[in-house]
């Protein structure tokens, strides 16, 4: 089958980068947009050379039409349960109906496969969709990239340049955390979309770095002395996050409420990649930690 990649969420941060990487590889890209998509982002996609395809996501026939002739669907959708489970299921059903052989869901996260349900709401939705995908007659590949590296610039407790502090939990000061830039994630995803032999899960990281290493890196590269802070046990962190979620139900309608951000941090200290698939494709220049702090 000839390559034709359908990117859902093409107007998004990650989605447009995936489109760009595919175009660089001279692969035809169909970018799904909808009525309310930002016109400037749509124009930017057109200028890249993306074949922009407007659909009503609630119209099954239109979605099947969008999937016709497609060799791989890549979803970079972002949203709440209605998007991650609802819209992605519609897209999956349309892909199966149109005979698309491969599907890459919008996981792009820490490897949630070994995480218990209840510790990260946004991952629980991905787990729910994972089950549907695993039962569908289509070859599925999830890409786990850990955290996007740009979060190191947001003064999260793990790396707070304002307070010059670096947090860790339990005895995990030496625990390696997976980070991948959005550009590296997009470059790898574009290659995976063209690879018919991908396994169910691929794990990548631009770099893996521990709180201890962040301390010495910030001293060496920035001449700054950061304080390493033990924030207690993982058990109490999990309990705290659950209590915060229960106390702030308005966050259920938000993508990144405070307690969800804390759940991401918890996940970063709970699971990490033991083996990376970084070398699966040649020519990806993985961004080093020094460029991201
Ligand atoms: N690992 C990490 O640290 C990390 C961090 C951030 C994001 N991510 C993940 O990366 C993926 C992409 O995220 P992003 O930040 O690139 O997202 P984004 O910039 O917010 O883009 C979201 C995309 O989804 C589309 N979309 C949103 N709601 C929709 C709906 N109801 N129906 C149809 N399309 C809808 C948007 O289309 P319109 O333009 O039409 O609205 C847009 O194209 C997600 O899986 C996200 O969870 C991972």
pLDDT tens column, 212-236:
999 999 998 878 899 999 999 999 9
Q: What is the mean pLDDT of residues 111-135?
A: 97
Q: What is d(CA 73, CA 71) in angstroms, rounded to the nearest whole number?
A: 7
Which atom of ligand 1 has the smallest separation from the CA of 82?
A: 31
Q: What is d(CA 204, CA 267) in angstroms, rounded to the nearest whole number?
A: 16
Which atom of ligand 1 has the smallest separation from the CA of 11?
A: 43
Q: Positive or negative CA dihedral for 292, 180, 207, 210? A: positive
Residue 144, beta-bridge partner list: 109, 203
Q: What is d(CA 171, CA 279) in angstroms, rounded to the nearest whole number?
A: 31
Burial of 14-49, coded b for 16+ CB within 10 Å and e otherwise, reads bbbbbbbbbbeeebbbbbbbeeebeeebbebbeebe
Ligand 1 centroid to Cα of residue 219, in Å, is: 35
Ligand 1 in reach of 37 Cβ (< 6 A): yes
CATH of domain 5-144+180-204: 3.40.50.720
Ligand 1 in reach of 83 Cβ (< 6 A): yes
Strands of the chain (E only): list them: 5-8, 29-33, 51-54, 72-75, 102-104, 139-140, 142-144, 147-148, 165-168, 177-180, 201-203, 207-209, 227-230
Ligand 1 in reach of 109 Cβ (< 6 A): yes
Ligand 1 in reach of 78 Cβ (< 6 A): yes
What pLDDT shows up at residue 224?
Answer: 84
Averaged pLDDT score across all residues of the chain? 97
Q: Positive or negative CA dihedral for 189, 191, 194, 198? A: negative
> What residue spans in the chain does CATH classification 3.90.25 cover?
148-177+207-273+286-291
95 pLDDT band, cuts 50/70/90, is very high
Q: What is the mean pLDDT of residues 244-263?
A: 96
Residue nearest (by alpha carbon) to ligand 1 atom 18:
12
What pLDDT shows up at residue 43?
Answer: 98
Phi and psi based region of residue 146 (left: phi greater than 0; alpha: psi -120 to 50; beta: remaining): left
**Contact call for residues 265 and 158 (beta carbons, < 8 A):** yes
Q: What is d(CA 58, CA 94) in angstroms, rounded to the nearest whole number?
A: 11
Q: What is d(CA 18, CA 24) in angstroms, rounded to the nearest whole number?
A: 10
User: In whole angstroms, how far apart are CA 266 and each of 9, 147, 212, 247?
Assistant: 27, 12, 17, 18
What pLDDT shows up at residue 221?
Answer: 83
Ligand 1 in reach of 87 Cβ (< 6 A): yes
pTM exceeding 0.85: yes
Burial of 146-168, coded b for 16+ CB within 10 Å and e otherwise, reads bbbbebbeeebbbbbbeeebbbb
Q: Name the residue of 62, 74, 78 whose CB sits within 8 Å of the most ligand 1 atoms, as the mutation to test its pocket.
A: 78
Fold of 148-177+207-273+286-291: UDP-galactose 4-epimerase; domain 1 (3.90.25)
Ligand 1 in reach of 42 Cβ (< 6 A): no
* Residues 3-37: tens digit of each pLDDT: 999 999 999 999 999 999 999 999 999 999 999 99
| Beta-carbon contacts of residue 150 (< 8 Å; ≥ 6 apart) | 181, 182, 292
What pLDDT shows up at residue 106?
Answer: 98
* Residues 147-167: tens digit of each pLDDT: 999 999 999 999 999 999 999
What pLDDT shows up at residue 196?
Answer: 97
Q: What is the mean pLDDT of residues 277-283?
A: 97
Ligand 1 in reach of 86 Cβ (< 6 A): no
Ligand 1 in reach of 179 Cβ (< 6 A): no
> What residue spans in the chain does CATH classification 3.40.50.720 cover?
5-144+180-204
Q: What is the mean pLDDT of residues 182-193?
A: 98
């Amino acid at each position: 089958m000839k390559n034709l990649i359908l990117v859902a969420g093409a107007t998004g941060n990650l989605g447009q980068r995936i489109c760009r990487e595919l175009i660089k590889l001279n692969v035809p890209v169909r970018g799904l947009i909808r009525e309310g998509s930002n016109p400037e982002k749509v124009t930017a996609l057109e200028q890249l050379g993306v074949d922009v395809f407007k659909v009503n996501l609630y119209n099954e026939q239109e979605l099947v039409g969008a999937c016709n002739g497609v060799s791989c669907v890549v979803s970079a959708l972002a949203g709440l349960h209605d998007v991650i489970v609802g819209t992605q299921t519609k897209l999956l059903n349309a892909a199966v109906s149109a005979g698309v052989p491969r599907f890459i869901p919008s996981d792009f996260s820490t490897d949630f496969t070994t995480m218990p349900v209840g510790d990260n709401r946004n991952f629980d939705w991905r787990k729910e969709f994972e089950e549907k995908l695993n039962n569908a007659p289509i070859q599925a590949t999830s890409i786990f990239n850990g955290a996007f590296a740009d979060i190191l610039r947001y003064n999260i407790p793990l790396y707070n340049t304002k307070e010059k502090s670096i947090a860790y939990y339990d005895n995990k000061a030496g625990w390696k955390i997976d980070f991948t830039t959005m550009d590296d994630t997009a470059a790898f995803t574009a290659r995976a979309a063209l690879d018919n032999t991908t396994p169910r899960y691929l794990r990548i990281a631009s770099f893996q770095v521990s709180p201890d290493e962040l301390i010495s890196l910030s001293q060496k590269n920035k001449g700054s002395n950061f304080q390493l802070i033990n924030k207690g046990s993982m058990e109490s962190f999990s309990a705290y996050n659950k209590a915060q979620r229960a106390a702030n139900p308005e966050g259920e309608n938000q993508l990144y409420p405070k307690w969800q951000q804390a759940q991401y941090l918890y996940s970063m200290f709970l699971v990490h990649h033991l083996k990376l698939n970084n070398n699966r494709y040649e020519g990806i220049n993985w961004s080093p930690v020094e460029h991201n702090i």
